[in-house]
Copies of this chain bind each other. A is one copy, B any other.
Amino acid sequence: MANPQTTFHHTTFHGESTLSIRRNKISRVTLQTQLELLRKTGRYDCFELKWHSIYDDKSHWPVPPHQFWDSDLGKWIESACYFLMEEYDAEIDAAVRYMVKTMRTAQREDGYLNLHYIVVEPGKRWTNIRDMHEFYNAGHLIEAALAHYQYYKNTEFLDVMEKYVALMSKTFGPGKGQLRAYPGHPEIELSLLRLYKVTKNVDAYNLARFFLEERGNPTGQEGKHYYDWEMERRGESPYKRPNSYPMTQDYWYCQAHAPIKEQQTVEGHAVRSMYLLIAVADLIALDRDGAQPLRDASTWFSALTGLWDNMVDKKMYLTGGIGAVAQWEGFGIDYFLPQGTDEGGCYAETCASIGVMMLAERLLYVDLSARYADVMELCLYNNVMTAMSLDGKAFTYENQLASSLKMKSAREEWFECSCCPPNLTRLFGSLGGYMWHFGGQKQQAFVNVHLYTTAKLEFKVGGAPLSLEQKSNWPWEGNVMFQLSAPAGIETTIRLRIPGWAEGDFVLTPSCKTAKVEKGYLVLDPAYTAANPSFSLVVGGFKPRYIAPHPYTNQRTLTLARGPFVYCVEDYDNPWEKDHFRNVVLKEGSPVTEEERFFEKQGEPYVALRTVGWERSMKSWTSKPSGASPGTSTGEDSLGSQRELVFVPYYFRANRGGQGHMRVGLLKA
């Protein structure tokens, strides 16, 4: 298996599409803007190892503000390398070279490399693995080094990281004298597995696997949970805990409350959870590929898919957002999915949905099923795409489904913990890798098409070039034209995702009697593809539809969707609204009209929707005297006055002005 970060360059986005507009913006605006911010905030040259005044800030134990700087640089380098492969930019190139140079110099003799423990707390490395992000940072730097290696075709950065991995492999593991630790914030596991795939560094595989197998061991180190053991070594009380831990030893926060294979529900910090499970999926894939056999592979697989199901069925917002609770940036109990802060929740971090996409891509590799691809696409066009402004210069961290007095719908230039912005850029940089899985050997080739847009895939089968081009106005229209060009004598199977929301409404032209839908993929066999190198798929579901969260969420809301887009209302289009659309009611089945629009300022076409809504009348409540017994009223009154409502795709929010009032789910009449 190869990951999107390795395979993306087989895809070119060769025509205008909603995705290519975004990718071009990132390549030409965002990368530069982020580089400026790296410079302005002190990150850019931090590996010169000089003192920065921010290092004195001890106000947020255990997390110093510069804790993630290594990873910010890593993710930016990674993004830069992806986009440099498409379009050269001398300033970006120079910046990457400079950063890598400083890291080479900063690396300690024995291979250790971490800004905080080299500059701020020398001598304390690996004393607080639960809270500090050494492994997380290392993981992102490994990913950056792999991207660097791929673009620059030299090992200047990769050597640094392999030396660091050698040190970690010596220090951590099940052997005598080794520490049985595992990262507080998973990430390195997936990057070690990626490193293994590229370099065949078995130490990297073994270390990742150890981290995954050891996690949650209640008696790992001297009969104790590792995090308890190291806490005692630091001389700390269990009651001293970061603010993200609601209670003492709540190790579910970082998925270390039980061995992974025994976990039944997704818990805790959503990004950590996703990064961890991505590595689990990689472990399974390496077993299936025969690269590294895995004992209990089927147990791992059923644990993984069980956690996926729990997440998607009970802990995911309609926008693909995950994480209902701000305190631990993560999952609440099943079906706890409040839309905004005034209902007690909604975090839906950008990085978390990027993690869902990464996990879905891995799962598609080991268990091809449209259920993963549907979620991947849902995240992409909604919770992920809403996280960057149309001008490519501002970002979100949290992606609530409803604004509130406390948190308006808005974006920011940067964050103290700025994981999301560069995560978005590297995702879009490697986006081609999420479009399809493909491969070929001997006389056989296959392409599993997960996402539709205008793009071209090119790869070689037995030395000869195969290409598959798709052209469409997706995600606005469902008509996709394909053109296959395969080497002579190669039997090509093409599988096309039929999204769940299309509800089986699709037309293949020319038609194919033998084509069956298997787990949501329409399978075109080699006979068909040979006879019809040009074919088209028309997917239905591009009429507006009403969707709703699970009844157990207690939401009883309706949301408009169209194709892969989830819609929202904003006061920009509905300027009469002053209370975040809290009291606006929809009726299922009210007719919806479409309006093709063009946002001149950013050159962005889109489809707006119009329907009628009602005011929620609460006269029987508002007429109740204050402070009188709650047991006297009889519920809501009938509907109040009617109004026209204009909806725009969720990713469009907070781009055109307005007061920041926004809502995805409106009350259901």
Contacts and interface: CB of A to CB of B under 8 A. Distances in A.
Interface of A: 61-62, 237, 239-243, 246-248, 305, 308-309, 311-313, 316-320, 327, 332-336, 338, 342-344, 370-372, 374-375, 378, 499-501, 503, 545-552, 554-556, 558-559, 561, 566, 582, 588, 616, 618, 621, 625-636, 668
B629 A545 contact: no
A627 B561 contact: no
A61 B240 CA distance: 11
A635 B548 contact: yes
B375 A634 contact: no
B371 A634 contact: no
A630 B549 CA distance: 7
Contacts of A62: 239
A64 to B, nearest CB: 14
Nearest to A556: B556
B635 A588 contact: yes
Total copies of the chain: 2
A630 B318 CA distance: 6
Contacts of A556: 554, 556
Given A243-B248, A247-B327, A630 B312 contact: yes
A240 B239 CA distance: 5
Given A243-B247, A554-B556, 8 more contacts: A333-B342, A336-B343, A371-B628, A374-B632, A378-B629, A547-B631, A548-B636, A551-B618
A254 to B, nearest CB: 17
B313 A631 contact: no
Of listed A327, A378, A499, A556, residue having the most chain B CB within 10 A: A556
A60 to B, nearest CB: 9
Given A247-B327, A635-B548, A61 B561 contact: no
A554 B551 contact: no
A630 B313 contact: yes
Contact of A621 (B343, B372, B501, B550): B550
Of listed A334, A554, A566, residue having the most chain B CB within 10 A: A554
- Looking at chain A's contact residues, the main secondary structure is loop
Nearest to A546: B634
B305 A627 contact: yes
B545 A627 contact: no
Nearest to A336: B344
Contacts of A343: 335-336, 554
23 contacts: A239-B240, A239-B242, A243-B247, A309-B626, A312-B630, A320-B629, A320-B631, A333-B342, A333-B344, A336-B343, A336-B344, A338-B554, A371-B627, A375-B627, A378-B629, A500-B628, A546-B635, A547-B633, A548-B635, A551-B616, A552-B582, A558-B635, A559-B631
Contacts of A372: 627
A308 B627 contact: yes
A315 B558 CA distance: 26
Contacts of A371: 625-629
Contacts of A313: 626-627, 630
A333 B344 CA distance: 7
B550 A630 contact: yes
Contact of A632 (B246, B319, B501, B633): B501
Closest 5 CB pairs of A and B: A548-B635, A374-B629, A240-B240, A309-B627, A371-B628
Contacts of A242: 239
A375 B631 CA distance: 9
A499 B332 CA distance: 40
Nearest to A334: B342
Nearest to A549: B630
Contacts of A501: 629, 631-632
Nearest to A551: B636
B239 A545 contact: no
Contacts of A634: 545-548, 588
A520 to B, nearest CB: 8
Contacts of A633: 547-548, 550
B631 A312 contact: no
Given A371-B625, A628-B374, A633-B548, A344 B332 contact: yes
Contacts of A630: 312-313, 316-318, 378, 549-550
Contacts of A555: 554
Nearest to A558: B635
